[in-house]
Chain A
């Protein structure tokens, strides 16, 4: 059952990822990316990361893709959107990188299999701390607000800077012909 769901979610993720890159109409690309985000959320659920699955749907599908759709529709793009001339070079580079990564993962997985198993055992030995917190959301919250409190604050600073930057960039008279 777990294998079946992995291959379903993984297959749809790969298919829609290729569609995002290959489709010529930007709206279709954005819709394909939406389908991919939902299936990534499904993959997260099979990995017992329910909180992240919900956050994935809310933030990516709900906020980020709506932003993309707004921009695509605001710009009212023409359809003459073709590929670069070096398509074959890019695709062959990608296939070469994929072959390398598959080779490394498969050989390294055989070589260090016991090491990973040992790490899992060590982590499982330290598991009582995790079993105190019953659910996934509680565990993520505990780690986020205790161990990773400082990175959490830095992330909020990043969001603040992004907000100010976005407002400044689209403000009239800063960039564009009317600024000069």
Chain B
């Protein structure tokens, strides 16, 4: 029987990998992929707690997280396409028109 803390550490590793990805990459598509990694890390945590505390609510919340992830991807990729149409780049360092 795997202890619950192993799942939490696995989820922490995946979450922090996503966080580091947002910090170090320049390609805006990889930034969105890193956000997906973070959302999946929370999903692993939700399901692990749902199993170990014998409560179905965790799985229901994974369902909602999935919905929000799908919405985020649709809007995020639409923003990327609109940006690319206007600026012809996906490098976040070139997207500084709102910089003061």
Contact = CB atoms under 8 A, between A and B. Distances in A.
Contacts of B50: 47, 49
A41 to B, nearest CB: 10
A82 B16 CA distance: 20
A35 interface: no
A93 B51 contact: no
A159 B75 contact: no
A83 B10 contact: no
A48 B3 CA distance: 15
- Contact size range, A: 35 or more
Contact of A20 (B7, B34, B60): B34
Interface in B39-80: 40, 43-44, 47-48, 50-57, 59-60, 62-64, 66-75, 77-80
A144 B63 contact: yes
Interface residues of B, number: 72
A71 B29 contact: yes
A177 to B, nearest CB: 6
Given A40-B44, A140-B56, A176-B82, A21 B20 contact: yes
A36 B47 CA distance: 16
Contact of A36 (B12, B16, B40, B56): B40
A44 B47 CA distance: 7
B47 A83 contact: no
Contacts of B8: 101, 105
A24 to B, nearest CB: 9
A37 B63 contact: no
A98 B23 contact: no
Interface of A: 2-3, 6, 10, 13-14, 17-18, 20-21, 26, 29-30, 33, 36-37, 40, 43-44, 47-49, 51-52, 55-56, 59-60, 63-64, 67-68, 71-72, 74-75, 77, 81-84, 86-87, 89-91, 93-94, 97-98, 101-102, 105-106, 109, 116, 119-120, 123-124, 127, 130, 136, 139-140, 142-144, 147-148, 151, 155, 158-159, 161-163, 165-167, 169-170, 174-177
23 contacts: A10-B6, A14-B10, A14-B17, A20-B17, A26-B27, A30-B33, A44-B47, A49-B50, A64-B70, A75-B90, A93-B20, A98-B16, A101-B12, A116-B52, A119-B53, A123-B53, A123-B54, A124-B54, A158-B71, A162-B72, A165-B75, A167-B78, A175-B86
Across chains A and B, which 7 residue pairs bring their CB atoms closest together, nearest first?
A: A162-B71, A90-B23, A21-B21, A169-B78, A94-B20, A123-B54, A175-B82
